[in-house]
Chain A
Amino acid sequence: MQEKRRYHSVRLDKDRCKGCTNCLTHCPTAAIRVRGGRAHILDNLCIDCGECIRICEYHAKVAFTDVMANIKAYKYAIVLPAPSLYGQFRDMARPEYVLEALKRVGFDEVFEVARGADIVTRAIREKLREPNQPRPLISSACPTVVRLIQVRFPELIDHIVDIRQPMEVAASVARAEFCKKHHCSPSDVGCFFVTPCPAKMTAIRTPIGQKKSELDGAISMMELYGQLLPHINEMLNDPDFVPATGYGVAWATSNGEANAVCPDNSLSVDGISNVIRVLEEVENDKLSDLIYLEGNACIGGCVGGPLTFENSYVAKNTIRKMVRHMSPEHPDTAVPSSMLNKYPTKNDLPIEPNTAEKLDDNIVEAMRKMKQMNEIIQRLPGYDCGSCGSPTCAAFAEDIVRGYCTEMDCVHLLREKLKVMAEEMVELAQSRRE
């Protein structure tokens, strides 16, 4: 079952972990176990949602991202801020202030991911016009949701729109435009995303639907926030700068994408447990009257990402106000169609299901294991207390069947067993005396 290790941005800091089991039940894919006094993340189930980062009081769950020094590895560095970055600064009126600050902290060029979102909006709208699309088509923008579908809803993979994420499209355009302008080779240029979440970092290192990411790394929004603050005072002044539309910037918040792509018949869902509920309904064929489904793992959309600084409700409000004063032009007309032909917007690989939840490759063997699991569950108390280190009694039974632990790891079963043994000892002692 353990194939080659998958890259994950979310990791455990062993020294800080107290083995408290707090994170266990908050993981949407039941990917955490506490064994030997500390947490472990099951590599093949983790979808990098970052819920465990939010919940851990000891800050033992961390997101690995690039540090600023990594941009020095390239002759030129382009920074691509997610639009959620604009929401981090209270009362921020225009993206250009943030873009200028990004240049001042050391980047040679800035390119808005919101512009990528504009291009992607157009690409998806063209896709929606093609006949025989599955209903609803599901957004590919949140990598956590895509990985969730791979693990828990593999039957819905065909529903995921095969258009790249805005950051990928933005990086293709940014690199090409920069190289043309400065007569340099693409390999001289590093493209760095400013990320609100570990999931995007993972998506850069191990892309889904693409052989290789167009980005070279990602820097955490949280880390960059403090560095940008002192520089937020002037607007970007670049005659060649092409701003994103308000539609593109609104992708930072839940419903922004749905509103740009398919305002008439779409649904936007935020928060990972809500997304799971809605995907269940799609699987039950209860939402086939919908054309488009936008799912964001984080509450409020990317402004609620685990690596953001500002309260997500405040950030959402900042974005809303900002968008009101931006160009109301829709990407349909703002993005020239030549853009779509010139730059790759489509996936070049199919999205594969993740089979980590399968009990066995052989169905008969899998059934034997499931039967055994059910028998074990009957013996367990059903408290879902987590003291065995598995998130629920059912997950514990599954872990036993998979050979990761034994029944005596359950304190309740152990206590019962000890009680029986103690009684037997008393009986034995008495029978000897007689």
Chain B
Amino acid sequence: MAFFKLLSTIYSKAAPFPDKIPTGMKPIIRLFYSSIYFGNQISINSSEKLKSGFSPIHKPTGLQKSSYFFVVSWTRWFSSSEDAVLSDPKTSDGMTVDDIVSKKWPILDENDGDWKSHAASIAQSIQLIKKRLQWRKMMVRSEQLSMALEKPDLWNDPIYASRVSREHGRLMGKMREVNGFEQELLELIDLIKLAREENDVELELESISAMLNMRKKAKEKELKALLAGENDPCSCYVEVQAGAGGTESMDWASMVLNMYISWAKRRGYDVMIVDEMHGEIAGIKHATIKVDGEFSFGFAKAEVGVHRLVRISPFDTGKRRHTSFAAVAVIPILGNETSCFQIKESDLRIERFRASGAGGQHVNTTESAVRIVHIPTGISATCQNERSQHQNKAAAMSVLQSRLDQLEMARQAQMNSEHTRSLTDISWGNQIRTYVLHPYRMVKDLRTNYEVSDPDSVLGGDLDGFILSFLSCALDNLEEKDSST
């Protein structure tokens, strides 16, 4: 953590950068440092270009006006090169996004055409987006990755190399996008100021409306920044496990399972039950479903933990109040290319549930469950909901792959403490939410205090409020912790 602190101080000093690299730094920091330095040089050049680009059209005629936009977008194209990513964009009079926020311009309604209010709102969004993306960590990480990419022996390990270059590309893409957005805002501010100086009402109005547009886009980007994790775009498995307490809990587990099935269907995901064990009287002991579709992991990971139900039990003839628990785990399904765990065929033990006795022509059963055990780790996966053994085996194999991938990710994250810690760890986690059906009706998230008074809608799959409030809370807390270290 001290490492981060050091880097962030360097970074904040980097704007009016000292002309000497402080001595006594580790080489890795030295490299990082020089790269910031270099990055800033480039962006200075491009802002000079910007200024000089304006001088010939200082007194615009009607015809030339549209070329302002051309110039602005042209300079943006060139200044948002990879090297410029690490720089802090500024207006022509040296104002950064942080400066705008600290001016505390009042943020009015969108329909109030005040540009300062738009600018303040956009700047605030940019700050939030950066916070959610864990901007500083992202910069450190991408710097480490660029260094790794420069090593000449990198491609000796092609799997590692492609992972590094994929992650690097992903981070760079995100940073470039935010930087571009930042720059767009500052350039619009420049334009508005210029238009005012020139008394060019038309240009001013055009710029303000462009800014309003940005303000709307910024809200979308805020949301998108909640799902910026490497595996967030993946599909996932959701596993539900009944807590102690017999039928009562098993019934609750099946309610929880149905809640996720409905939620997934509302979001347009494909859902499939992979593995399911029924209770003797009602409900399920546990179940695994596959939720197929973009970002299903990113959203569903917010649901990891223990869910608690309080109600009058339908199974209790004495009509007493009962508390039941169900645990939820979520595992991302990495694509084939990104799978990080290589399974050796010889490490597997494949068990098929067979009828006892002679088998073959003697027996007719629709039970064709397959369990695959990965012997070295003891991790296993079972599937019995496909209708042939062949397919149960294929389905169990992909669950196993995902479980092993998750284990491997956890191991790598531990080894590499700089790596953004994933929100979910492999355990079932703590109690996260309470659903009360009696004596009053309420669902409350214990992590965010987000609360809803209609349990039926939640159990019917209306979970987005819970999920989004958790994701934003989780990211905001994480960032706070970092900056305080």
A is bound by B: no
Interface residues of A (CB under 8 A from B): none
